[in-house]
Amino acid sequence: MTDPAALYLVPVPLAADAAPAASLPAPAMERVRALRDFVAENARSARRFLAACGHPGPIAEIGIAVLDEHSREEDIPALLAPLREGRPLGLVSEAGAPAVADPGARLVAAAHREGFRVVPLVGPSSILLALMASGLEGQRFRFAGYLPVPAAERAAAIRELETRSAATRETQVFIETPYRNDALLADLLATCREDTRLSVAAELTGAGESVRTASVREWRAHPAQPGKRPAIFLLLAAARGPRR
């Protein structure tokens, strides 16, 4: 049963070649098909996702408002108009879980401020899938988002993550835009201690999925670049050991 005063957070398959039914359970798919109003980062890809879900449509007539990194804060409350009019609203990410490393978090915050119910639907999260598959510390972990782009700042950020990991026994999780993946990996291998364990999970749930966890020493001996694929990076530093 769909709550007319609820914002539904709709996960989207991580891989472009993955069918929604392979990532979302049947109850979530049913909920998606029942919604008629959505907010998405990209309306065109959201319509493709809804069509793949078997939404009864017509797809071209579904209301999809855009919320992206360029959206102004003062414009966000207007996106909740369907809820104020008594209709449920769906928030769709470009891939994976909405509102996690995603501009949709601002819409969720606005919904809470106005007292609307927020309902997360079950579906894929690249962060949790990568952590599950890494074999690194899953009791304590921290998602650090994107690291700085300038080389000196990035190296400093990597050293800070490694130091924190060693001190707290906490897995550090971070991401990069696909075209900078190989540069980030090179910086990690150049900066981290050789006994730090590094995991790279690329194209999760897709046909080219790969997950590799090894020490930095082993990565240096047998490098394998993720290339321009969606990827998640994780590191876990040893509690002791000199920097090499």
Residues 104 and 130 in one domain: no
pTM: 0.88
Q: Are residues 228 and 142 in the same domain?
A: yes
Do 152 and 191 fall into the same domain? yes
Helical spans, DSSP H, in 137-244:
151-168, 181-191, 216-221
pLDDT tier at 17, thresholds 50, 70, 90: confident
pLDDT tens per residue, range 32-43:
999 999 999 999
Q: Which residues pair with 143 in a beta bridge?
A: 173
Range of the domain at 66: 6-120
Note whether residue 211 is domain-resident.
yes
- Residue 111 sits in the same domain as residue 34: yes
Mean pLDDT of 101-116: 94
Residue 6 has pLDDT above 50, yes or no: yes
Sign of CA dihedral 58, 61, 63, 69: positive
105 with 146, same domain: the answer is no
Domain end call among 87, 120, 153 = 120
pLDDT tier at 199, thresholds 50, 70, 90 = very high
Confidence check: pLDDT of 139 > 50: yes
Question: Scanning the structure block, which residue is given the tokens 């990690």?
Answer: 188
**How would you label 20-52 residue by residue, b for 16+ Cβ within 10 Å and e otherwise?**
beebbeeebbebbeebbbbbbbebebbbebbee
Q: What is the number of domains present in the chain?
A: 2
CATH number at residue 112: 3.40.1010.10
Residue 60's φ and ψ, nearest 5 degrees, are -65, -20
The type of residue at 167 is A
| 105, 167: one domain | no
Where residue 209 sits, what CATH number does that domain have? Answer: 3.30.950.10
Quick one: 223 and 147 in the same domain?
yes
Residue 226 falls within a domain, yes or no?
yes
- State which of 71, 104, 120 marks the end of a domain: 120
Q: Cα dist. 34→37, 48, 87, 90, 118 in Å?
A: 10, 16, 11, 10, 16
Q: How many CB atoms lie within 10 A of CB 169?
A: 13
Arithmetic mean of pLDDT, 195-224: 96
Specify if 242 maps to a domain: no
Among 120, 153, 187, residue at a domain's last position: 120
Average pLDDT for 97-116: 94
- List pLDDT tens digits, range 41-79: 999 999 999 999 999 989 988 999 999 989 999 999 999
Residue 4 is predicted with a pLDDT of 72
User: Residue 164: left if φ>0, alpha if ψ -120 to 50, beta else—which one?
Assistant: alpha
Asked whether residue 185 carries a pLDDT value surpassing 80, the answer given is yes
Q: Same domain for 105 and 19?
A: yes
